[in-house]
Amino acid sequence: MAGTDWYRDAACAGRDDLDWFDLDCTLQQTLEICASCDVKEQCLDVAIRYRYYEGVWGGLYGKRLTAMIERHRRAYAKPY
């Protein structure tokens, strides 16, 4: 899906009751929603592409999200 069209199919769409960046309060709930999401790959791709290290993206957060972003960054880094 191009752009952000994928978001309308996201399990989290319209879930303004949860804070996807305050992991101390809503982590378990957000991970449960991500687990059932049909577009979590597209969500994770956005975090990787734009280097969003904070929050829950495609079911990943914290060190796992950071590691995924950094692996991608190194793999596609342009040599000087």
What is the per-residue burial (b if ≥16 Cβ within 10 Å, else e) of 50-73? eeeeebbbbbbbeeebeebbeebe
**Domain range enclosing 47:** 39-80
Higher pLDDT, 43 or 80: 43
7 domain residue, yes or no = no
Q: What are phi and psi of 60, to 5 degrees?
A: -110, 155
Whether residue 54 is contained in a domain is answered as yes
**Segment 46-79, tens digit of pLDDT:** 999 999 999 999 999 999 999 999 999 888 876 6
The pTM score is: 0.85
The number of distinct structural domains making up the chain is: 1
User: Which pLDDT band, with edges at 50, 70 and 90, does 1 fall under?
Assistant: very low
- For residue 68, give the amino acid letter: M
